[in-house]
């Protein structure tokens, strides 16, 4: 049974009337806006969204240039930096790293809870754990190898000035951006920068085509079922990364729709619902947006071409 909330015509009308006051940006798709704006308006928290069909260019932006916290979503750019350094010869992804007790931090992942001190594995596997299980300990091992500030420096050079990893996970004392750490926590970005990074990944423009293939494989294995995948049709292909911290829920990635691949980012903060539960309102918003985007482009694909 589809449990997505039904939006009444009255609510839809009110949402449309308040579009400009709410901060919605110009869009190429009023139909897509009609699907997404009521979801945004109903959410109890601050929201930023960016959507772009990478085949047709159709897009929708809502507060997409406003810097927002990332939570663990920032691990996606960290992965990009790890592969960039590997291509440059600064790090070796096949080099073995050893897990020490002092490396272990709490939160998401499996290394802290299921691996013994002294366990060793390639840095490439640490990257995989960082993306697939959002492993915090693995993330810190990757940051030890590439440097905490390197992700922000590379992102800025690439044209993503708001996308920054601030510190190691659960190690605020390591922050290289103390003021941003206070404001945003682990990392920061904008919805528009995230979908541009996703587009560059999809177009094989990051590092190399083979590196992009590997990074996409990591993201296709992401195990978060509560956000983007939750309401999508079975078998829908998706490469994505998410984040969850108290009042923050985030997700970004590439959704394979009938009308072509779609880069999608949902960022939320100051959420009233702070439960760590599948039905957390931030989780549901991510899931509802993903399904609405999928349905929109499925319908567009089914429409007959317009006559000249």
- Over the stretch 88-128, which tens digit does the pLDDT of each residue have? 999 999 999 999 999 999 999 999 999 999 999 999 999 99
Task: Answer yes or no: is 291 within a domain.
Answer: no
Task: Answer yes or no: is 187 within a domain.
Answer: yes
Tell me how long the chain is: 308
Task: Answer yes or no: is 44 within a domain.
Answer: no
Task: Answer yes or no: is 200 within a domain.
Answer: yes
- Over the stretch 80-92, which tens digit does the pLDDT of each residue have? 999 999 999 999 9
pLDDT reading at 11 higher than 80:
no
Task: Answer yes or no: is 145 within a domain.
Answer: yes
Task: Answer yes or no: is 229 within a domain.
Answer: yes
- Over the stretch 275-301, which tens digit does the pLDDT of each residue have? 999 999 999 999 999 999 999 999 877
Task: Answer yes or no: is 144 within a domain.
Answer: yes
Q: What is this structure's pTM?
A: 0.90
Output the pLDDT for position 301. Answer: 74
- Tokens matching residue 154: 């590379």
CA distance 213 to 217: 6
Categorize the per-residue pLDDT at 305 as very low, low, confident or very high, splitting at 50, 70 and 90.
low
pLDDT reading at 12 higher than 70:
no
Categorize the per-residue pLDDT at 3 as very low, low, confident or very high, splitting at 50, 70 and 90.
very low
pLDDT reading at 8 higher than 60:
no
Output the pLDDT for position 300. Answer: 74
Q: Are 180 and 188 in contact (CB under 8 A)?
A: yes
Output the pLDDT for position 307. Answer: 53
CA distance 82 to 97: 14
Residue 86 to residues 91, 117, 123, 206, 279, Cα–Cα distance (Å): 5, 26, 10, 12, 39
Output the pLDDT for position 195. Answer: 98
Say which residue the tokens 């897009």 belong to.
59
Output the pLDDT for position 299. Answer: 87
CATH of the domain at 122: 3.40.710.10
Categorize the per-residue pLDDT at 2 as very low, low, confident or very high, splitting at 50, 70 and 90.
very low
Output the pLDDT for position 19. Answer: 47
DSSP 99-133: --GGG--SSSSSHHHHS-TT-EEEHHHHHHHHHHS
pLDDT reading at 4 higher than 50:
no
**Phi-psi map region of 198: left, alpha, beta (phi>0 left; psi -120 to 50 alpha):** alpha
Better-scored residue on pLDDT, 28 or 201: 201
DSSP 170-196: TBGGG-SSHHHHHHHTTEEE-HHHHHH
In eight-state DSSP terms, residue 271 is -
Full residue range of the structural domain in which residue 222 is found: 66-277
Task: Answer yes or no: is 71 within a domain.
Answer: yes
Residue 91 to residues 10, 81, 88, 94, 143, Cα–Cα distance (Å): 57, 10, 8, 9, 11
Average pLDDT, the chain: 91
pLDDT reading at 304 higher than 80:
no
How many domains does the chain divide into?
A: 1
- Over the stretch 189-234, which tens digit does the pLDDT of each residue have? 999 999 999 999 999 999 999 999 999 999 999 999 999 999 999 9
- Over the stretch 243-277, which tens digit does the pLDDT of each residue have? 999 999 999 999 999 999 999 999 999 999 999 99
Output the pLDDT for position 288. Answer: 98
Residue 65, helix vs strand vs coil: coil
Output the pLDDT for position 5. Answer: 42
pLDDT reading at 65 higher than 90:
yes
């Amino acid at each position: 049974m589809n449990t997505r909330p039904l939006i009444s015509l009255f609510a839809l009308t009110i949402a449309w009337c308040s579009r400009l006051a709410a901060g919605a940006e110009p869009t190429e798709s009023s139909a897509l806006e009609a699907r997404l704006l009521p979801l945004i308006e109903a959410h109890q928290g601050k929201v930023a969204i960016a959507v772009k069909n990478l085949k047709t260019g159709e897009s929708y932006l809502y507060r997409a240039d406003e810097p927002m916290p990332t939570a663990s979503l920032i691990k996606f750019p960290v992965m990009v930096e790890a592969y960039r350094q590997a291509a440059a010869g600064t790090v070796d992804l096949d080099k073995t790293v050893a897990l020490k007790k002092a490396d272990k931090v709490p939160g998401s992942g499996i290394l802290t809870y299921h691996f013994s001190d002294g366990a060793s594995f390639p840095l490439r596997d640490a990257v995989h754990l960082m993306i697939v299980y959002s492993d915090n300990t693995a993330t810190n091992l990757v940051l030890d190898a590439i440097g905490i500030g390197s992700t922000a420096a590379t992102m800025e050079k690439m044209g993503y000035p708001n996308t920054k990893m601030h510190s190691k996970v659960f190690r605020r004392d390591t922050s290289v951006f103390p003021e941003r750490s206070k404001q945003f926590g682990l990392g920061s970005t904008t919805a528009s920068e995230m979908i541009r990074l996703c587009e560059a990944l999809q177009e094989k423009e990051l590092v190399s085509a083979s590196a992009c293939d590997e990074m996409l494989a990591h993201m296709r294995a992401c195990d978060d079922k509560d956000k983007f995948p939750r309401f999508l049709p079975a078998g829908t292909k998706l490469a994505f990364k998410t984040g969850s911290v108290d009042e923050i829920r985030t997700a970004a990635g590439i959704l394979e729709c009938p009308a072509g691949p779609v880069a999608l980012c949902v960022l939320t903060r100051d959420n009233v619902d702070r439960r760590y539960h599948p039905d957390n309102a931030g989780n549901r918003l991510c899931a509802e947006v993903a399904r609405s985007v999928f349905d929109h482009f499925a319908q567009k694909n089914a429409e007959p071409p317009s006559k000249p």
